[in-house]
Structure 1
Amino acid sequence: MKITPVSHAQAARAKTIFIPLFKNESPSGDAVFMRLAPSVKKAVLEFARKEFRGDEGETKSVWFAVGAVRRVRLFGKGEKSKWNARKADILPRRFIRAAKADRASEYAVSSGGDLTAFARNSLMAHFEYNRYKETPKGGWPEVKSITPAVADTDRAPAVRAIAEGSAIGEEVNSARELANTPGSDMTPMHLAEAARLAAKRAGFRATILDEKAIARLGMGGVLGVARGSDEKPRFIILEYRKGAKDQKPLVLVGKGVTFDTGGINLKPEQYMYEMHMDMSGGAAVIHGIAAIARLKLAINVVGLVPAVENMPSGSSYRPGDLLKSMSGKTIEVLNTDAEGRVILADALTYALRYKPGLIADFATLTGAAHVALGNYCSAVFTNRDALTEKLVAVGTASGDYVWPLPLWDEYLHEIKGTFGDIANMAKNDRYGGAIHGAKFLEQFVEDAPFAHIDIAPRMTAVDSDILARGATGVGVRYIAELARAYPGIMKQEEGIRN
């Protein structure tokens, strides 16, 4: 799909034109509308006055039998006083959905707003995972060209904004492609190869460690979880170094459980179907770094993805087992379905080798985060209270919204081990389960600045997202924006230390 900014006059000659309007707003002030042929303007104005209110979600079309313009579709934005960035993100997705429903392969938009967000959201809305479906006779509905109207003086910055948004949107969709792939075709080995390919395309370094190398590092958490599967674990290391030599790297860690049955503590049937997406954090790190590389950001970034399958078998790790992590701490296994934090423990310990300025992990870690926050944002935890506001702001700016939950020391005693140093869940995990998971992870970062983003609430799309069913690609947009904000975060951290 190509997104090309055009002048208002060019947009007014398109076959299909989309015009968004607030409630009770007349199209007469729209720059593209003003350049329409008089007969078209008259018809649209009369239709809008009689048939269109501009309610949020409303859309209606005016059709023309002759002339260059054949359809003008109006989109309601609702009350102007209630308009916000979240609704602005949804609007381009509504355009795509309407175009696909109409089988319109191209359209002009009278106002794209923030064109970076416009391009990003248009691409995200266009994505559908049809790899395993038979192509229908008429083909899948496809939008080939979108032409947002801009002032002539704004064309150069518009081109740059669209290129940036397109790069991020494409990487979000690549992460969705990985997460949607069935577990039989997305094993740890396949995920590692996907990471290698992404690195080659975007221009950063990928190193893949096999089971023997993982064992030499003493990653008992990764090896323990992987033990029950015939698919051998991989440890993925990604490096993008375009920052100053003395800049401490941003280290991103992504959970890469390519299929999670729960292990011996087998998941209920209704919760297992989507567990090929339990590597969404790993996919986000891979394609988040790809987005950073494509944007050519001046930053040093490292990505770490422990990739395993969690399967029940005669060789699986068991409740009651004690696993020696890379840090030297022993992990007491109370539940084999709390496996994500077990493999992340080793990855977080490995992250300390880089003397990071910030470690941020992305993981579909707990259903408890979903219960706490619902469907519309991820949970964020940090061991630096001063970082909380910045981490939330990154989510708001990126469209990958996050909301803070506490990481207080009061929760630590609830995950103290009986026979090991730390338990992989609380004995009563009904209350504060998301916090217990975050508090567990914190024990493996020493004093490094740390953020844990539990993306479980945003793993799959809900109807109001106006995205195809399946993975959302959560985390990729956040990572790209976090990379932009990182120099400021580093300055703040250094200021606190001084």
Structure 2
Amino acid sequence: MNYHFEPSANAAVLHTDCVIVGVYRHGKLSAAAAQLDAASGGALQNHLDIGDFSGDKNRTSLLYNLPGVTSKRVLLVGMGEKDKLTLEALAQITQSAVNALKSGKVGNAISFLTDEIASEYLQSAVRQTVTAVADALYTFDAYKSKKDDAAKPMLEGWIIAHTIAGDFSAAVTQGFAIAEGMQVSRDLANSPGNVCTPTYLAEIAQELANSCNKVDINILEETDMDALGMGSFLSVSKGSEQDGKLVILQYHGGNAGDAPFVLVGKGITFDTGGISLKPGNAMDEMKFDMTGAASVIGTLTACVAMQLPLNVVGVIAAAENMPSSRASKPGDIVTSMSGKTIEILNTDAEGRLVLCDALTYVERFNPTAVVDIATLTGACITALGHHTSGLLSNNDALAEEVLAAGKQACDEAWRLPMGEKYQDQLKSNFADMANIGGPPAGTITAACFLSRFTESYPWAHLDIAGTAWKGGAAKGSTGRPVPLLCQILINRANQHG
């Protein structure tokens, strides 16, 4: 798909397969729709007067051969109430437009939908338009023996046009990079567990490093981790025939010596629960338990595409959690890289066991901040559902930065509390701590566990258990939180630029 920005455009005289304009509720015309109505001698208003289309949000109406209009097609898209037009609503409206066109013969479209967004939000709106289009067009059929090429959309060009002057080409470029990163993340997460193993994640990371001379890679094998004392990580990976990997990607986009921003992703490529075996229902979805790692690779892919002037380290803690004669047992005690001992009360709380050693490892980079990303707790789904990621942090400024970026990117998080009163739930009679704190406040106590390994730097934890994928008929990865992570890095790059 090709994307382009076109300023100072007149919707009536553009040569394209389809012009897309917004209409607000009760038939109120957007600026671009007014251009079409004037050029057609009121034909657009006459269509609205019939009453079948009133501008309700996400409704569409496709018109053909309007007099005085160059494009053979005009797609009207309902934008709802004008005072309720948010960035999130715009993304939904854009996807409605794509869905209305992708089954037809439209190869190129010019959309004026972002033209209605207030100027202070236009950079974000343009970026999100590109990611919304890419999201609506995304398919994953890599493992189907017969590809339905006839059903694939003909759309190959999407121009974002404005009736006023201005240049948002940079935002288009960023949006395309973020969309590319989301696709990488989704493809990895959607791949089956017998393909997407820890070794496979390392290979994909290696390909990224090979593609850009600004990216270095270091892959720690289990023998390397054993030498470093990563007993917590190895307590998870030892139960599988698939060797665990700790993959470190370093993107050198900033000045040499500048402290990097670090991303750490949970990469459990399949999670059976280990000896604390999960129920069989929907266990296939546990292939998505590596989405944190996938989002790190996707975000670094976007960094390379955007050429962000920032130093970023991406760490992928990849392992498979399997039951076997070598697997950890409830009650086992292991020693983490930090030297702290952990009583494993539940082997299905394995993500925090690989992450804690990764979080200790990244101290060597003297990071400016660390964000870990993990499909960590079902309790987060209970608390926040499937719309909002959970956020916990040991640093208020970093937490606010993450929350603000989430709003900008329409990839929102919500901060949960974390304090000593919750730490008490991790007490163990036999080790420095237990790996679970019981059913109450499960998301919080999981973060409290991780916080014990992040005392030397500003740290935030994103629990994406509810937002990383969809189940049911729409089963598949969402690509989140790549937009949020990219927005954090874009904002940081802008501050330092």
Residue 321 of structure 1 is matched in structure 2 by 332
User: Which residue identity lines up with residue 269 of structure 2 in the other structure?
Assistant: T
- Superposed, 1:487-498 pairs within 5 Å as none
Change (3 A) 1:63 1:489: closer
Unaligned ranges ≥5, structure 2: 116-124
Residue 283 of structure 1 is matched in structure 2 by 294
Instruction: Give me the whole-angstrom Cα distance separating, in 2, the residues matched to 1:412 and 1:132.
Output: 45
Give the deviation of 1:389 after TM superposition: 2.2
Q: Does 1:455 align with 2:467?
A: no
Q: Is contact 2:60-2:96 (8 Å) kept?
A: no
User: Which residue identity lines up with residue 43 of structure 2 in the other structure?
Assistant: A
Residue 31 of structure 1 is matched in structure 2 by 32
Residue 232 of structure 1 is matched in structure 2 by 243
Residue 17 of structure 1 is matched in structure 2 by 19
Structure 1 residues 210-238: Cα deviation after superposition (integer angstroms, max 9, x where no partner): 12112111111221101111111111001
Give the deviation of 1:191 after TM superposition: 0.6
Instruction: Give me the whole-angstrom Cα distance separating, in 2, the residues matched to 1:196 and 1:81.
Output: 47
Instruction: Give me the whole-angstrom Cα distance separating, in 1, the residues matched to 2:359 and 2:13.
Output: 51
Give the deviation of 1:103 after TM superposition: 4.7
Residue 167 of structure 1 is matched in structure 2 by 177
- Superposed, 1:157-306 pairs within 5 Å as 157-202=167-212, 203-306=214-317
User: Which residue identity lines up with residue 59 of structure 1 in the other structure?
Assistant: T
Change (3 A) 1:119 1:277: same
Give the deviation of 1:240 after TM superposition: 1.2
Residue 476 of structure 1 is matched in structure 2 by 482
2:35 aligned counterpart, secondary structure: helix
Residue 439 of structure 1 is matched in structure 2 by 448
Q: Is contact 1:262-1:310 (8 Å) kept?
A: yes
Instruction: Give me the whole-angstrom Cα distance separating, in 2, the residues matched to 1:137 and 1:284.
Output: 28
Change (3 A) 1:481 1:73: same
Residue 496 of structure 1 is matched in structure 2 by none
Structure 1 residues 21-43: Cα deviation after superposition (integer angstroms, max 9, x where no partner): 2212433x5336525795x4533
Identity %: 35
Residue 493 of structure 1 is matched in structure 2 by none
User: Which residue identity lines up with residue 200 of structure 1 in the other structure?
Assistant: N
Give the deviation of 1:322 after TM superposition: 0.8
Structure 1 residues 430-464: Cα deviation after superposition (integer angstroms, max 9, x where no partner): 2100001100000111231110010111011479x
Change (3 A) 1:181 1:24: same
1:452 aligned counterpart, secondary structure: strand
Change (3 A) 1:423 1:118: same
User: Which residue identity lines up with residue 181 of structure 1 in the other structure?
Assistant: S
Give the deviation of 1:124 after TM superposition: 2.2
Change (3 A) 1:383 1:11: farther
Q: Is contact 2:183-2:298 (8 Å) kept?
A: no
Residue 103 of structure 2 is matched in structure 1 by 101
Change (3 A) 1:363 1:322: same
Query: Over aligned residues, Cα RMSD in angstroms?
Result: 2.3
Instruction: Give me the whole-angstrom Cα distance separating, in 2, the residues matched to 1:229 and 1:142.
Output: 44
1:381 aligned counterpart, secondary structure: strand
Instruction: Give me the whole-angstrom Cα distance separating, in 2, the residues matched to 1:23 and 1:103.
Output: 28
User: Which residue identity lines up with residue 392 of structure 2 in the other structure?
Assistant: F
Residue 119 of structure 2 is matched in structure 1 by none
User: Which residue identity lines up with residue 88 of structure 2 in the other structure?
Assistant: R
Q: Does 1:395 align with 2:406?
A: yes
1:128 aligned counterpart, secondary structure: coil
Instruction: Give me the whole-angstrom Cα distance separating, in 2, the residues matched to 1:132 and 1:103.
Output: 27
2:150 aligned counterpart, secondary structure: coil
1:112 aligned counterpart, secondary structure: helix
1:457 aligned counterpart, secondary structure: coil
1:205 aligned counterpart, secondary structure: strand
Residue 377 of structure 1 is matched in structure 2 by 388
Instruction: Give me the whole-angstrom Cα distance separating, in 1, the residues matched to 2:288 and 2:398.
Output: 29
Instruction: Give me the whole-angstrom Cα distance separating, in 2, the residues matched to 1:97 and 1:122.
Output: 9
Instruction: Give me the whole-angstrom Cα distance separating, in 2, the residues matched to 1:159 and 1:230.
Output: 48
Instruction: Give me the whole-angstrom Cα distance separating, in 2, the residues matched to 1:137 and 1:441.
Output: 46
Residue 363 of structure 1 is matched in structure 2 by 374
Give the deviation of 1:409 after TM superposition: 1.1
Instruction: Give me the whole-angstrom Cα distance separating, in 1, the residues matched to 2:369 and 2:431.
Output: 28
Q: Is contact 2:236-2:354 (8 Å) kept?
A: yes
Instruction: Give me the whole-angstrom Cα distance separating, in 2, the residues matched to 1:47 and 1:345.
Output: 61
Structure 1 residues 267-302: Cα deviation after superposition (integer angstroms, max 9, x where no partner): 112241211111100011112122122222222211
Instruction: Give me the whole-angstrom Cα distance separating, in 2, the residues matched to 1:321 and 1:138.
Output: 55
User: Which residue identity lines up with residue 72 of structure 1 in the other structure?
Assistant: V
- State which of 147, 150, 161 in structure 2 corresponds to 1:138: 150
Unaligned ranges ≥5, structure 1: 491-498
Q: Is contact 1:411-1:436 (8 Å) kept?
A: yes
Structure 1 residues 298-323: Cα deviation after superposition (integer angstroms, max 9, x where no partner): 22211111100001111111111111
Instruction: Give me the whole-angstrom Cα distance separating, in 2, the residues matched to 1:132 and 1:142.
Output: 22
Q: Is contact 1:62-1:73 (8 Å) kept?
A: yes
Change (3 A) 1:137 1:349: closer
Instruction: Give me the whole-angstrom Cα distance separating, in 2, the residues matched to 1:140 and 1:339.
Output: 40
Change (3 A) 1:68 1:438: same
Give the deviation of 1:167 after TM superposition: 0.7
Q: Does 1:49 align with 2:52?
A: no
Give the deviation of 1:182 after TM superposition: 0.4
Instruction: Give me the whole-angstrom Cα distance separating, in 1, the residues matched to 2:268 and 2:154.
Output: 33
Instruction: Give me the whole-angstrom Cα distance separating, in 2, the residues matched to 1:442 and 1:142.
Output: 49
Query: Between Structure 1 and Structure 2, how many residues are aligned?
Result: 481
Residue 358 of structure 2 is matched in structure 1 by 347
Structure 1, 132-141 or 226-235: larger mean CA deviation: 132-141
